[in-house]
Amino acid sequence: LEDLQDAFDFCYKVHYQPGEERNRDPQYIQQLQALQAKLQNLDRQRREVLAQMQQLLGRSETLQELLQQELGAWRERQQRLCLGGPADTNLRPLETWFTGLGQGLFQLRQLLRALGELRLKVSYERDPLVAETPLLEQRLLEQLTHLLRSAFVVEQQPSTPNAGRRPLVLRTGSKFSARARLLVRLHDRNHRMEAKIHIDRWDPR
């Protein structure tokens, strides 16, 4: 897509020289027709890329719904474990799935930024990047926000600090230990991630 845009931009700057005399030149008319064909091809490719991104975002929404179901099943197993029943509460599979989806969404975010840069270099009447890119960015941001919020889980529920580490009913003034975990593994050495944890007493759950 970038190569097509560069080729069109170069030909436009070289050949497009409007004027009455030039408009009657058969060779110039032929160059304009070739330039128009390049623009139509560029427009078609842009629309195809945007359609593919729409499709990918639709698939990621479906995948995120499946992940929410798996996460709900994990929480039920965790509750059974807290009540003393046998249950597998290994988070590694969920972490792998959440991380894979997160990486895919962040890659789409980079692609949208690249499309925005292309739009700044070359734009035209009824440019699909102008109308559709902001909508895709909003949709992607909503998916990323929802994914990261749901990926932050309490891996180890509050328990007594002694060796037994039995499940604990929280009371005012009681001390307890718990462990939270972000299921999306983000590797960014340029930014240090910090998380602040607080208890929401009004949480309906």
**Residue % of the chain over a pLDDT of 90:** 45
Binning pLDDT at 50, 70 and 90, where does residue 155 land?
confident
For residue 163, what pLDDT is reported?
A: 47
pLDDT above 70 for 101: yes
For residue 166, what pLDDT is reported?
A: 57
pLDDT above 50 for 86: yes
8 Å CB contact between 2 and 49: no
Give residues with Cβ within 8 angstroms of 29, minimum separation 6.
Answer: 23
pLDDT above 70 for 80: yes
For residue 66, what pLDDT is reported?
A: 96
Specify the CATH class of 2-182 in words: mainly alpha
Predicted structure pTM score: 0.78
CA 175 to chain centre: 38
For residue 62, what pLDDT is reported?
A: 96
For 12-16, 106-110, 197-201, which range has the lowest pLDDT when averaged over its residues? 197-201
Find the DSSP H helices in the chain.
2-15, 20-23, 26-82, 92-121, 128-150
The C-alpha atoms of residue 205 and residue 202 are separated, in whole angstroms, by 9
CA 54 to chain centre: 12
The residue extents of the domains of the chain are 2-182
8 Å CB contact between 102 and 186: yes
pLDDT digits 0-9 by tens, 19-54: 666 667 788 788 888 888 988 999 999 999 999 999
For residue 164, what pLDDT is reported?
A: 53
Provide mean pLDDT across the span 185-201: 69
